[in-house]
Structure 1
Amino acid sequence: MSDRPGGATLTESPSATAPRRPPSGMTVLFSLLVSVVVVTVGVVGALLWTVTGDNARRWAEAWQRCGPGWLAGPDASTAGANEDMHRFVRCVAPVSREQASWSLYAVGLLVLVALLCYAAYPAVITRRRGLGRFRPEGELAEVLEGLRRVAGLRTPPTYLLRPSEETRVTRDAMTFGAFRARHIALDMGLVKDFGHDRDRFRAVVLHELAHARGRDVHITYLTKAVWAAFVALAWVPAAIGLLLRHDASAWLFAAGLLVLTALVLSIRNAILRERELHADGVAAAVVGREDALRVLHGEERPGLWRRFTHHHPSAARRRRFVTEPALLDTPRWWELPVVGVVVGMVGSNVWYVATIALVTLPGTNGLLVGLLVAPALTAPVVVAVWRVVRLDPDGTHVPRWLVFAGGLALGCLVGRQLSLTSVLVGASGGSAFGSDLVAVPGLVVATLAVALWTASVAREASLSAVVVAVTAAVGLLTAVWWLHSTVGSLWSWDFYDKGPEFPDPVGRAAGWLDEATHWLTLRNLPLTTLVYVPIVVPLLSLLWLVPALVAPRVFDLRRALRAGLVGAATVMVLTCAAVLVARWSIPSEIRANDRFAIVFHFSAIVLCVVVQAVVAFLLRGPHRAVLVPLAATTTALLSSAAFFLVVEPLYRAVDLRASDPESLYPAPDFQIIADFGQYSVLLGLLVSSVAATLGALLRPRPAAGPAPGGMRGTVAVTIGTVVLAAATVPPAIDYWKAAGPSTTPAECLVGTWTERSRTSFVPADPDEEPLRFTGSGSVLVYTGDGRFRAAFSPASADHSGQRYVLAYSGVVSGTYRVDGDHIVYSSVAPGVEVSFSVDGTPVDTRPVTGFADDAFTCTGDTMTQKGPSYSITLVRVEAGR
């Protein structure tokens, strides 16, 4: 259609010119903005709870009572560290749940205020700018309708006009709205352009229509609404908190809030700049670059502060994006650090809430949260590297991978320090910065590996396939990293031979065997945790399996399978040779010792890992990042099978143990063979990755040629990994059960109890035997913060034809503490009386001022309490809070 007499013609092809969705960069940034704001406002709500009433004292007492064991540092075992952590969180749960409820209230208020601001924006803008309804007529109406169809906008927007004197010289427009309504405000000067500079008028209006068509209007004004709600619900309460509390932790939080405010402001402004660049690109696709470039405005080269705070990109940047549209897909240098900050904050807070709300085996909450965190840490790296490789096929931006890895890790470190958990630990005089800092190198190495692997397959595989493959394969590794970095045991090591269940030393005659046993049983605790997660091998196998399924004719899998077969054969031959050498060179009394079998087992694992590294180093050709995991996994799995089918019979045949037909792998227990496969796969992949990297640096990568088709061997290897994982399920369950939670007497006491039976002896007459009172149905509540409530039911006794009754006038409350196996009561609230009646006639009434100390035993959900003259049996009816 032609929008002016004798003018240029615009082709109506909206599907080719403009997307109907907001640019992905805006969506990601908005998600990050919401995450940061929600977490920050939640932390502010929790801190407001702290400065209200005597909550600060209650919180300090709870941490003092519950925290020393955990805050002093983790045990020298994974189970110990996790158990201490869970015990601590359960202990402080009564006060932490109150605090968490304030966080939820604050977040709910944030959502309400943000929605109200969002709904009010159109009316506010219309009133502030003095906008009036504009109804175009004649040729102007036809041109606007034509531009709407060209832009692909289904519903016509509402046009508004600024009739003020100021707008008679300005030549601009703006798009705003809420929900489904879209308004475009036109300056008087722009309307005048329709008569003498129609190309400019057309370009400006198309730019605004691009905002409406791209559906970024709601994100834009939701962003502004979230910012307004953040200022109102973060800074105003924080200022009140600073006025009420002047200690160092409050000022430390204020400093952290300043950092978060700068982060929120930078994300907000980045969203607003991103929408302008996107609309510029859409307008240029419709009207042409020349017309689009004519209407660009803004500071040419603003300073650093203006670039940080301004809503519009510079004119130079806008021109660059119009002439090079591919730049819209280029990752920005700050994206991954921001992702790291958000993941660090959100992940830590989710872990804290999950540990309070869920009752599970120690460590499984951390693994659960780690599995949620893993995609957030790996997927952004994959997307960023994939975009760089696709836009830069020559590889000139490879050094940017270092920025991606380091930026994400450092951002995660900063985010953890700004989380609720870190704030609470700091408020109690502790710090988790040291353990978080130690965790950074591991995350940097992991993200570098992900980046290198992604770059090697990005040219052949789709983005979705690469994201799924990497996230599935390394997600569990990331989850284990998260678990151990949370409890400060990421770099914890121990020696298996120092455990109480380990066989006794052989003696001086074979000191070398004891020394070898000691060093071969060195264990890294996170790796041990990972070994006992059943699905780890199938997930790691996805590193090669998913790309191979997506592009079966790209990767020469037969090379990797041949290399893995050669590696497994080498391991089998060398291990058989070791069996024969050991049989005729080591005395029988040494070979009969259980330590010898352990040394042989771990030596075989080390041998298998070394062979895997050699195979990875020597593997030639393209796509090493895909083929090396396949070769290493094949070597490990076939070596495990060879050990069971070949080495084990030889072991028995030559009587290597010099005793009864003792088996290295006593059938039908497959735990050891499962351990061998898991350890060799995990260690082999780690070491093989390093060896393959060295090989790639020393030998240039040859050009990729046509690969033979087919997936022979893939199904067999995949089935092998699944079978191996299934074999590890029983020992994995046993491992986590062994790490199950145990409770102290004080922890067992916390909860609501119902009295099953009560027997007490009360003297009615000094010259007679005490009366035996019985009763049941009383309710006792013990809370984790040292408070108790008791609603006693009447107790009765029959004597000499008379009925005696003891009754309380109300609920008794006070405080308690546990001293060994005794409950010590104190601070009983006044106002409750106990009455003594005979046949319904009151005889005596006295105030309740205290209780004698109870000797108690608590097992599971049953408790007994005993004193000088009474015995009570109770049953738990509700878990502690």
Structure 2
Amino acid sequence: MSSVPLFGTLFTVVLERNNPRRGLTGAMGCLYAAGFDPAQSDTDNMTATMRRSPALVKCLGEQPVSYAGVIATLVLLAVAGLVYWCLPKVRDRRRRLVPVEAVDADGTLRAELAALAERTGIRSDVRFRIDPARMTSGAGVHGRTGRYTVCLHAGLPARRGTDPEGFRAVVLHELAHIHHRDVDYAYAATVLWRVFVLFALLPDFALIGWAVFLVVSGTETPWWPGAAPEVLAFVTTGLLLAGLVHLARADLLRRREHHADLRAVAWGAHPANWDRPDPPGTVAPLLHRLTALLRTHPGWAERRRVLADRDHLLRVSPLEMFLAGASASMLFGSLATLPFRPLAHGALWLTVALVAPVLCIALGLPVVRASRTAGGAPGSGALPGLWLGCGLLVGEFVASGRYRVDWLLPQPLYLLAFLFIGAVPAVWWSQTLRLALGLPKRGQRRAAAVVCALVTATVLWGGLTWWRLGGERIALGGGGDLGGALARAYAEAVPGAWQDYDMDLSALSYGLSLLSPLHRQVPVGVAVLLMWLVPLVLLLWQRPGAGPRVRRTLVAGCAGGLVSWAGLALTWSVGHARRPATVKERTGPFLVVHQWWVIVTVLAVCLLTAAVVAAFSRRHWLLRAVIAAQVTQLTAYGAVFLLSSADGCLGPLNTVLDVCRWHPRNGLALGTAVTLLTLTNAVLGSACAALLGAGTAGIVRRLRGRPAVRLPAVPAPAVPVRRRPVLLKAGTALTLGVPAVLLTVVASTQVAVTSAASPFSPKAAARGTKGPDGSPPPTQTRTMRTWQTWSWLNNGGNLHTQRINAAQLALNAELLKAAARKRDTNGQVPVDEKTFHRVCGALGKRVEEAQDYFPVPSPDLQKSWSDALSRLHHGTGRCQEAMIPPKGGPRRTDAERSQQFSASLKELAAGLRSFVAARQDIQKAATSKTK
């Protein structure tokens, strides 16, 4: 998949080698037209390009689709398949192998080899050959599917006389590779890797080197020096990709060696044959240990350790999880370059569809094996999840640089969020699967495992979605509010004295960028509901003595609920001290700020509860934490409703009202606002807090010298356990589940209804990022402004000009037709009112489309362009009103309408002259040569 963007870039440069503005077409042309400048920071570029986000989306969607990268990738796969098919023959000819008969005078060697092959039961065509050039006592195997060659080194037949057990162990090991199809895996991975490097990676590096050479030689380009970090990112991405593929290939081959050892021992090879010292080498021991992950064959000590403890091979490898995470980040970037351009959500779902099975299988198999073994104690999944997050972090840090101009992210610490994005679903899956395996019936266990896997995938998708919609913007240095868009949107939606709440508004805009990305995602809302409800049901319906009691968890949640009541009372008291003098003033910015701090209080108490519960729990600590946090959350919602409904009767806790009355509508309004932003975020945040709480407790126990307690997955009860009454189980689940389900449904409905009118919608944000006249800030250099203007013209400016000219010509044609008609008795020319209303409306529509396009990069040119379009738009409006007056408007006589129509034509003529002059100035600025 990574070859698609590499080939796409290569073919784009080659096909546009004669383009004087090379690099300013396609997607990058749209970005330059929107105001992108490599000399500016990432934050400035994001603010500039998102000023007219609908126009940018439309421009990107109108770019011609190129299948060059996909076709080249398919050709690459075909070449790899051809090489895979022909490589064994080439290897036979190059090595000059000889048949076994050449060294087997009495035929005993052939007979023993045939007996060993028959013992393994291999049905494929296996040939034995001798490599006279290699004098060691080893062997190798190569070939393709259905036809394999076991190559015995020249020293191995001689070893047969002195060490027959060792001879058989070597042969059985090679036959085990054939049995496990390791030859196919190894050759396919090797061939694909070599073909990719030769035909995709090296040409890309050559292209980058050529571009750098042109820059050094003095060629004028918009990519230097501002885009030097992007060029470096391309190189780093290629190197990382090469390293990841080699690490994955080496890890695969090492694991296949271990599997072959185990199979050979199962066929009769004696484990003592692996008691061999590692050969001394010229590499220093420290360097040899550091490069262990790069080698395709494990050392003898590691092979003996796996033979002694075969469960060691089945444990989750940190390297595998790291590779899965890094591959996921790079896969998302590659999917975005496909010709059909999948949406961001679709690309994330495809990425999760490939990563989630790896996560579930890698962490699920140890849990299943531990449940079948007495005293089995699988890990919590935290360490593999953290390695998965590290892979996501590294992949995102490197791959995202291909679209940035800064050397580093302005806020790189936010990349640490990927540790939680990887660890939360990993731990949750491990712990819930252990509970699912404790159910009494097999069908129940399977159904629960499927549900848990789907929730795990959705939670992982939610974490990646949060990064794409909010975390990435914060990491780019926007502070969550690029250009102050959210703050201005709130100031426009809720007029009032916002100058008194500058600090609160800053915290509000920053916090909303953290909380708002996921509150509109219905799949995440459902997954979050199941994230605590499924563990609760599993804990209640465990076999007697198989699972922990839920009572302590519910008690901890109730205690957190009491803390939430105290915290909310404190928030209300602070609001009472800060409230303005009149009720009208209290319903403005003060009420918005008060709602925000209520949301903060609810979230803070839930996170604190989860961290404390996880710190003092030994088993299922994440599940206990989210269940307790949910109990706290539901209790806090009750406190919010009561305090809001009884406002005016609370004395020192009154915030808005002073008259004592019961106001349930106020309680529902504030409760709904709080629920929308906390229902999903509180559970996910509690899971992250649980990781911190459990990690901190583990560090403290380690510092105190207390070893971590590892309890078995399913402990055997020492005494008879009394079953919980079914009604008590059902009542507990319904008491907590029904309100949560109803709140989830209400929140989803409210989000669908209010998202369009929200001051934080994309339209509101776009409104807030416009300058005084809608124009972008001036760029630093005249050359860059010229390139931007050229991109502005060629990515839509010329098209809008042509459409306006065509609509104006249609209007002129109708005027000529009317002038050719005979005049009436009053000397007036009759006109078709519907026809002129239509052509004037068509011209007005074309003008509106041009107004919605990107602002001209030059502020002076933008002013003249905007004024010309405004005059044209006003003229078309007057023309339509003269032909067909709007309903409810003032009544005008025919003479007045005729006069208005004539005035509109004069205004259109003047606007058209201004339009043509502005277009000529823009064309001149776009084609001027600057130094």
Report the CA distance between 1:273 and its aligned residue. Answer: 3.3
Task: State the Cα deviation string for residues 723-750 of structure 1 (Å, max 9, x = none).
Answer: 2222122343356546357899988775
Instruction: Give the match for residue 479 of structure 2.
Output: 492
Contact 1:374 1:475 in 2 (8 A): yes
Report the CA distance between 1:213 and its aligned residue. Answer: 1.3
For residues 53 and 204 of structure 2, the distance between their equivalents in structure 1, rounded to whole angstroms, comes to: 29
Instruction: Give the match for residue 634 of structure 1.
Output: 631
Instruction: Give the match for residue 189 of structure 2.
Output: 223
Report the CA distance between 1:223 and its aligned residue. Answer: 1.1
Identify, as 1 or 2, the structure richer in helix.
2
Paired residues for 1:59-78 under 5 Å: 59=25, 63-68=31-36
Q: Report the 3-state secondary structure (helix = DSSP H, G, I; strand = E; otherwise coil) of the residue aligned with 1:433.
A: coil
Question: Which letter does structure 1 place at the counterpart of 2:173?
Answer: H
For residues 7 and 470 of structure 2, the distance between their equivalents in structure 1, rounded to whole angstroms, comes to: 27
Cα distance change of structure 1 residues 686 and 204 upon mapping to structure 2, 3 Å threshold: closer
Instruction: Give the match for residue 210 of structure 1.
Output: 176
325, 348, 355: which one pairs with 2:333? 348
Instruction: Give the match for residue 199 of structure 2.
Output: 233
Contact 2:36 2:48 in 1 (8 A): no
Report the CA distance between 1:324 and its aligned residue. Answer: 3.8
| Range 579-588 or range 101-110, more displaced | 579-588
For residues 49 and 292 of structure 1, the distance between their equivalents in structure 2, rounded to whole angstroms, comes to: 60
Contact 2:274 2:300 in 1 (8 A): no
Cα distance change of structure 1 residues 323 and 673 upon mapping to structure 2, 3 Å threshold: closer
Instruction: Give the match for residue 437 of structure 1.
Output: 412
Question: Which letter does structure 2 place at the counterpart of 1:147?
Answer: L
Task: State the Cα deviation string for residues 789-817 of structure 1 (Å, max 9, x = none).
Answer: xxxxxxxxxxxxxxxxxxxxxxxxxxxx9
For residues 463 and 815 of structure 2, the distance between their equivalents in structure 1, rounded to whole angstroms, comes to: 68
Gapped regions of structure 1 (runs ≥ 5): 1-34, 359-364, 787-816, 825-853, 872-881
Paired residues for 1:783-822 under 5 Å: none
Contact 2:579 2:586 in 1 (8 A): no
Contact 1:637 1:681 in 2 (8 A): no
Cα distance change of structure 1 residues 856 and 352 upon mapping to structure 2, 3 Å threshold: farther
For residues 751 and 45 of structure 2, the distance between their equivalents in structure 1, rounded to whole angstroms, comes to: 16
Contact 1:506 1:590 in 2 (8 A): no
Question: Which letter does structure 1 place at the counterpart of 2:810?
Answer: R
Report the CA distance between 1:525 and its aligned residue. Answer: 0.4
Instruction: Give the match for residue 608 of structure 1.
Output: 602
| Range 305-314 or range 283-292, more displaced | 305-314
| 2:395 maps to 1:415 | yes
For residues 748 and 469 of structure 2, the distance between their equivalents in structure 1, rounded to whole angstroms, comes to: 20
Q: Report the 3-state secondary structure (helix = DSSP H, G, I; strand = E; otherwise coil) of the residue aligned with 2:87.
A: helix
Report the CA distance between 1:368 and its aligned residue. Answer: 4.2
Instruction: Give the match for residue 675 of structure 1.
Output: 676
Q: Report the 3-state secondary structure (helix = DSSP H, G, I; strand = E; otherwise coil) of the residue aligned with 1:264.
A: helix
Question: Which letter does structure 2 place at the counterpart of 1:726?
Answer: V
Cα distance change of structure 1 residues 691 and 207 upon mapping to structure 2, 3 Å threshold: closer
For residues 45 and 32 of structure 2, the distance between their equivalents in structure 1, rounded to whole angstroms, comes to: 24
TM-score normalised to structure 1 length: 0.67
For residues 753 and 37 of structure 2, the distance between their equivalents in structure 1, rounded to whole angstroms, comes to: 26
Report the CA distance between 1:666 and its aligned residue. Answer: 7.1
For residues 66 and 581 of structure 1, the distance between their equivalents in structure 2, rounded to whole angstroms, comes to: 45
For residues 702 and 261 of structure 1, the distance between their equivalents in structure 2, rounded to whole angstroms, comes to: 41
| Range 445-454 or range 729-738, more displaced | 445-454
For residues 94 and 423 of structure 1, the distance between their equivalents in structure 2, rounded to whole angstroms, comes to: 22
Cα distance change of structure 1 residues 253 and 446 upon mapping to structure 2, 3 Å threshold: closer
For residues 63 and 307 of structure 1, the distance between their equivalents in structure 2, rounded to whole angstroms, comes to: 45
539, 549, 564: which one pairs with 2:557? 564
| 2:261 maps to 1:280 | yes
341, 349, 364: which one pairs with 1:357? 341
Paired residues for 1:460-539 under 5 Å: 470-487=456-473, 492-493=479-480, 499-501=490-492, 503-505=494-496, 523-539=511-527
299, 310, 319: which one pairs with 1:314? 299
575, 586, 589: which one pairs with 1:593? 586
Task: State the Cα deviation string for residues 158-191 of structure 1 (Å, max 9, x = none).
Answer: 21423x6546x55443322323433333456545
| 2:657 maps to 1:657 | yes
Paired residues for 1:706-725 under 5 Å: 711-712=729-730, 713-725=732-744
* Number of corresponding residues: 750
Contact 2:385 2:419 in 1 (8 A): no
Instruction: Give the match for residue 103 of structure 1.
Output: 69
Instruction: Give the match for residue 159 of structure 1.
Output: 127
Structure with the bigger RCO (C-alpha within 8 Å, sep 6+) is: 2
Contact 1:374 1:479 in 2 (8 A): no
Contact 1:298 1:312 in 2 (8 A): no
Cα distance change of structure 1 residues 74 and 287 upon mapping to structure 2, 3 Å threshold: same
Instruction: Give the match for residue 547 of structure 2.
Output: 554
Question: Which letter does structure 2 place at the counterpart of 1:728?
Answer: A
Gapped regions of structure 2 (runs ≥ 5): 216-223, 438-448, 768-773, 775-791, 823-828, 851-859, 881-904, 914-931
For residues 741 and 45 of structure 2, the distance between their equivalents in structure 1, rounded to whole angstroms, comes to: 29
Q: Report the 3-state secondary structure (helix = DSSP H, G, I; strand = E; otherwise coil) of the residue aligned with 2:22.
A: helix
Contact 1:114 1:225 in 2 (8 A): yes
81, 86, 89: which one pairs with 1:115? 81
Cα distance change of structure 1 residues 318 and 54 upon mapping to structure 2, 3 Å threshold: farther
Report the CA distance between 1:822 and its aligned residue. Answer: 6.4
| 2:747 maps to 1:728 | yes
Question: Which letter does structure 2 place at the counterpart of 1:326?
Answer: D
Task: State the Cα deviation string for residues 652-706 of structure 1 (Å, max 9, x = none).
Answer: 8779624797555476998436326526555555556655665676688888676
Contact 2:568 2:639 in 1 (8 A): no
For residues 728 and 398 of structure 1, the distance between their equivalents in structure 2, rounded to whole angstroms, comes to: 36
Cα distance change of structure 1 residues 353 and 473 upon mapping to structure 2, 3 Å threshold: same
Instruction: Give the match for residue 312 of structure 2.
Output: 327
Cα distance change of structure 1 residues 431 and 231 upon mapping to structure 2, 3 Å threshold: same
Q: Report the 3-state secondary structure (helix = DSSP H, G, I; strand = E; otherwise coil) of the residue aligned with 1:182.
A: strand
Contact 1:172 1:189 in 2 (8 A): yes
Question: Which letter does structure 1 place at the counterpart of 2:744?
Answer: A
For residues 492 and 577 of structure 2, the distance between their equivalents in structure 1, rounded to whole angstroms, comes to: 30
Paired residues for 1:680-759 under 5 Å: 680-681=682-683, 690=692, 711-712=729-730, 713-734=732-753, 737=756, 739=761, 758-759=810-811
Cα distance change of structure 1 residues 528 and 477 upon mapping to structure 2, 3 Å threshold: same
Contact 1:200 1:295 in 2 (8 A): no
Cα distance change of structure 1 residues 106 and 48 upon mapping to structure 2, 3 Å threshold: farther
Identify, as 1 or 2, the structure richer in strand.
1
Report the CA distance between 1:88 and its aligned residue. Answer: 3.9
Q: Report the 3-state secondary structure (helix = DSSP H, G, I; strand = E; otherwise coil) of the residue aligned with 1:287.
A: coil
Report the CA distance between 1:118 and its aligned residue. Answer: 1.0
For residues 185 and 515 of structure 1, the distance between their equivalents in structure 2, rounded to whole angstroms, comes to: 75
Report the CA distance between 1:202 and its aligned residue. Answer: 2.1
Contact 1:497 1:517 in 2 (8 A): yes
Contact 2:458 2:523 in 1 (8 A): no
Task: State the Cα deviation string for residues 378-417 of structure 1 (Å, max 9, x = none).
Answer: 8777877788999999999999967973x65565455346
Report the CA distance between 1:534 and its aligned residue. Answer: 3.3
Contact 1:210 1:282 in 2 (8 A): yes
Report the CA distance between 1:219 and its aligned residue. Answer: 1.3
Q: Report the 3-state secondary structure (helix = DSSP H, G, I; strand = E; otherwise coil) of the residue aligned with 2:657.
A: coil
Contact 2:84 2:188 in 1 (8 A): yes
Contact 1:49 1:102 in 2 (8 A): no
For residues 315 and 579 of structure 1, the distance between their equivalents in structure 2, rounded to whole angstroms, comes to: 68
